Amino acid sequence: MNEATVERRLAAVLAADVVGYSRLMGADEVGTLRVLRAHLRELIDPTIAARRGRIVKTTGDGLLAEFPSAVEAVACAITIQRGLASRNAGTAEEKQLTYRIGINIGDIIIEGNDIFGDGVNVAARLETLCEPGGLCISRAVRDQVRDKLPVAFDDLGEQVVKNIARPVRAFGLSPDAIAAAPDIPQSAAVAATRRGWAGVVAAFAAVLAIAGAGSAWWLSGAPTTAPRQAESAAPTAAPVAPARASIAVLPFASLSAEGGSDYFADGLSEDLIAALGRFRELSVIAPAAVFAYKGKNPTPVEVGRDLKVRYVLEGSVRRAPDSIRVSVNLTDTSRSQVLWSEKYDAVPKEIFEVQDQITRRISGALAVRVTSLELTRSAAKRSDSMEAYDLVLRGRALSAHLTRADNAEARALFERAIELDPKYAPAYVGVGRVDIHAVTEGWTANPSEALERAEGLARKAIALDDLDPGAHALLGDAALYFGEYDRALDEVKRAIDLNGSDAQSYSILMDALLFRGDLKGAIAAGETLTQFQPDLPDGAAFHLAVGYVLADRGADAVRVLQHALDRNPGYSFANVMLAVAYSAAGSQPEAARQADVVRQRFPHFSAEEFGSLLRDPSQREKLAGALKKAGL
């Protein structure tokens, strides 16, 4: 490492590991991993994030985190140990996961996302000195937290530790002392920071409402106009064909005599897309792309050519009060050959089993090797109430319209579904999405409250069904809007792990990587998204273009933005970025003309806060310079 380029800072470092991990894994490997991951996901990770911490890395049974404050680090450790003690209550002692935690404050070296140095090493050594279920801190930490936290540490004296030149003065807090300590409220500064980020979201939404954009520039969302049939050329410089078997599930036709059941057929189509998307071996086109074909009756070969997929699934639903008939056809578009055709007759309460059968049959027809774990994931938890499921499908159809009235109606349907089945995770996700829409569309005077509700609903859904990718994506979305990019990244990666073809998750992934400064990763996520959803939503197209401009790929940005503006000419920030992209591509006359368009059509546009959510100062400066060069 070049000493001249070393980045250093002072930080509080927390090191933790599980006591007797090897013994626990030897006794019950699967059970231990399940409990360990649950502790991380449901207690440790959110507690660290709430205290302004960042998980640097996890190593099997251990983790390393950094905090800007010793007080926050110690308060976080106490909360974690109390939560773990509560979780262990009622569990046989030989199956309990007990942690040791060490905390030090000192100088650290930053390299990428990792940290090094004596500040880290001392924390790791203190952790080995810790009593199981307790906490061990250095003298520097004790001096910082004395009289600031309602706990008293025991002086453990000077300790000689491995690979540290001088003895370390250590202080300990026993499990009994932790249990007796009063609750430590979250820092007011943390709450204020989160409220501030929510205020930024609201402020930008208000500006964009004036400009006619409809949603904040950094937020991914559904297109502001109805999706149309995808064009044959994807809007990226060099689209890469998916390596996995590719399939498009067209919207199922509703053949019900009484009418009004389109939402049910649409919901069945979407659920099949989601179920198939959980198979790592399948690349599944996103709903927004395939629903562009609704009512147009294209041939499977046409769909295969437009969306660049080999397989197309078509279907219909004939629904009566006491029966449901589902018909499906699977076509190999390369040979224009129907591989498989089937009809399913069921009573309404059996629709979930029908969906699972279709999913399994398709995977067999495609000769996809699917592990038992993937099959378990595809059969996501279902509602015990058919009416609750029906209400969630209605709510999804309404919330997709992105109008205030439809979202209010969708909220009522989701909440009714929760009343009928309080354990149905998708209903909580639905309400959370409505809260997110209220913030991004400027429909609430209290964006921080709406975002906190969405965050809480996501956590509730995850607690009910940890395999629901929509719940993890929602939690990642909420974290993104609070400016907690690292946490957003963790959650959306979990969502993608559960459903590797979910377009919304890749859109959130692109945002999180872009705002963290990882241009290469953000562009890769955006280009992967185009494989599933060639006709990108407005927000996703804008974000990909920002990444291209910052990566000196102006011509690619022009291509993406022109495609987006063909669909929605009134998207103000896409107009702004098109001027920037022309300038970055060396087309200054076109940039000047586009800048004139912006000034004429969007006179209230201001470049003052444009790009303020980018974490990297050099990237903010580069974007500001590009705006200036474009005449904005």
Domain boundaries, the chain: 3-186, 198-225+433-629, 245-378
> How far is residue 450 from each of residues 189, 431, 437, 438, 447, measured CA to CA in Å?
19, 10, 9, 7, 5
In 3-state terms, what secondary structure has residue 357?
Answer: helix
Which pair of tokens denotes residue 435? Answer: 């809260």
Instruction: Using the predicted structure, report yes or no on whether residue 435 has a pLDDT greater than 90.
Output: yes
Give the model confidence (pLDDT) of 41-84 as tens digits. Answer: 778 887 887 787 888 887 767 888 888 888 889 999 999 999 99
Residue 612's pLDDT is 75
Structure token digits, residue 506: 């890749």
Mark out the alpha helices in 368-446 (DSSP H runs): 372-378, 386-399, 404-420, 425-440
How high does pLDDT run on average in the chain?
80
Give pTM, 2 decimals: 0.61
Q: How far apart are CA 412 and CA 406, in angstroms?
A: 10
pLDDT of residue 56: 83
Give the confidence band of 416 by pLDDT, cuts at 50, 70, 90.
Answer: very high
Residue 199 main-chain phi, psi, to 5 deg: -65, -35
pLDDT at 322: 80
pLDDT digits (tens, 9 = 90+) for 470-482: 999 999 999 888 8
Q: Please give the pLDDT value at position 417.
A: 92
Task: Note the helical H segments in 89-157.
Answer: 118-129, 139-145
Token readout for 170 is 């250590």
Beta bridge partners of 330: 313, 340
pLDDT digits (tens, 9 = 90+) for 210-267: 444 433 444 333 333 333 333 333 333 333 334 567 889 999 888 876 656 678 788 8
Give the CATH superfamily of 198-225+433-629. Tetratricopeptide repeat domain (1.25.40.10)
Query: Could you give the CA distance from residue 28 to residue 128 in angstroms, rounded to a whole number?
Result: 24
Residue 295: predicted pLDDT: 84
- Mean pLDDT for 138-166 is 83
Q: Give every CB contact of residue 603 below 8 A, 6+ residues apart in sequence.
A: none
Is the pLDDT at 533 greater than 60? The verdict is yes
Report the DSSP beta bridge partners of residue 525. Answer: none
User: DSSP letter string over 306-341?
Assistant: HHT-SEEEEEEEEEETTEEEEEEEEEETTTTEEEEE
Of 176-180, 361-365, 432-436, 552-556, which gets the smallest average pLDDT?
A: 361-365
Quote the CA–CA distance of 436 and 399 in Å, as a whole number: 11
Reply yes or no on whether the pLDDT at 86 is more than 50: yes
**What per-residue confidence (pLDDT) applies to 78?**
93
In whole angstroms, what is the distance from residue 120 CA to residue 529 CA? Answer: 38
Mean pLDDT within 597-611: 79
What is the reported pLDDT for 236?
A: 35
Residue-wise pLDDT tens digits, 334-370: 888 888 888 877 777 767 776 666 666 565 554 443 3
3-state secondary structure of 12: strand
**Percentage of the chain exceeding pLDDT 90:** 23
SS3 65: strand
- Is pLDDT above 50 for 631? yes
First to last CA, the chain: 41
pLDDT of 206: 47
Residue 532 pLDDT grade (very low, low, confident, very high; cuts 50, 70, 90): confident
pLDDT at 333: 87
Q: Which helix (H) or strand (E) holds 203?
A: helix 188-211
* Residue 521 binned pLDDT confidence (cut-offs 50, 70, 90): very high
Torsion of CA 173, 179, 183, 187, to 10 degrees: 30
171, two tokens: 């202080």
Q: pLDDT value at position 195?
A: 58
CB–CB of 56/114 below 8 Å?
A: yes
Residue 4 CB partners (closer than 8 Å, separation 6+): none
Q: Determine how β-strand 253-254 pairs with β-strand 323-332.
A: unpaired
The CB-side HSE value for 46 (13 A sphere, CA atoms) comes to 16
Of residues 419 and 348, more confidently modeled:
419
Tens-digit pLDDT profile for residues 482-505: 888 888 888 998 888 888 777 888
Q: Which of 33-37, 184-188, 399-403 is predicted with the least confidence, judged by mean pLDDT?
A: 184-188
Superfamily of domain 245-378: ABC-type transport auxiliary lipoprotein component (3.40.50.10610)
Residues shown for the chain: 632
Enter the CATH code of domain 3-186. Answer: 3.30.70.1230
Confidence of residue 186 (pLDDT cuts 50, 70, 90): low
Per residue in 308-323, pLDDT (tens digit) is: 888 888 988 887 778 8
